[in-house]
């Protein structure tokens, strides 16, 4: 049973430990589905997510919002060791860019 307008973030990867493909969903990190083919793993995890959502609805639990439809400000705070902060500030100054631009560039790769 698939979810209508399913906008969740799915991924299929090979599981060497299980010797099968694993279907995963970012919004439901505790769920997975193992299958012999990538297509079956994707279908399996989508079906599991649909079942869990139905169960959550019946128990009046809050259902996770899909990452793809959330609005992001583009701002978040990262704490680093003072030594790392100093090193990054030096690198930014040497490159002639702001610390923000340097950090954004490093995070984008």
Instruction: Write out the residue range of the structural domain in which residue 38 sits.
Output: 10-67
Q: For every one of its 109 residues, what pLDDT tens digit does the chain have, with 9 covering 90 and above?
A: 667 678 999 999 999 999 999 999 999 999 999 999 999 999 999 999 999 999 999 999 999 999 999 999 999 999 999 999 999 999 999 999 999 999 999 999 7
87 and 60 fall within a common domain: no
**pLDDT value at residue 5:** 72
**pLDDT value at residue 1:** 61
14 and 59 fall within a common domain: yes
With b for 16 or more beta-carbon neighbours within 10 A and e for fewer, the 59-78 pattern comes to eeeeebeeeeeeeeeeeeee
76 and 63 fall within a common domain: no
44 and 86 fall within a common domain: no
78 and 51 fall within a common domain: no
16 and 42 fall within a common domain: yes
């Amino acid at each position: 049973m698939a979810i209508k307008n399913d906008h969740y973030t799915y991924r299929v990867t090979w599981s060497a430990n299980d010797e099968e493909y694993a279907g995963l969903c970012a919004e439901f990190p505790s769920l997975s589905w193992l299958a012999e083919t990538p297509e079956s793993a994707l279908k399996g995890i989508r079906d599991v997510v649909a079942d869990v959502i139905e169960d959550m609805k019946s128990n009046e639990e809050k259902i996770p919002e899909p990452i793809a439809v959330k609005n992001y400000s583009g701002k978040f705070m990262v704490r680093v060791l003072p030594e790392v902060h100093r090193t990054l500030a030096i690198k930014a100054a040497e490159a002639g860019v702001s610390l923000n631009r340097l950090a954004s560039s490093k995070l984008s790769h």
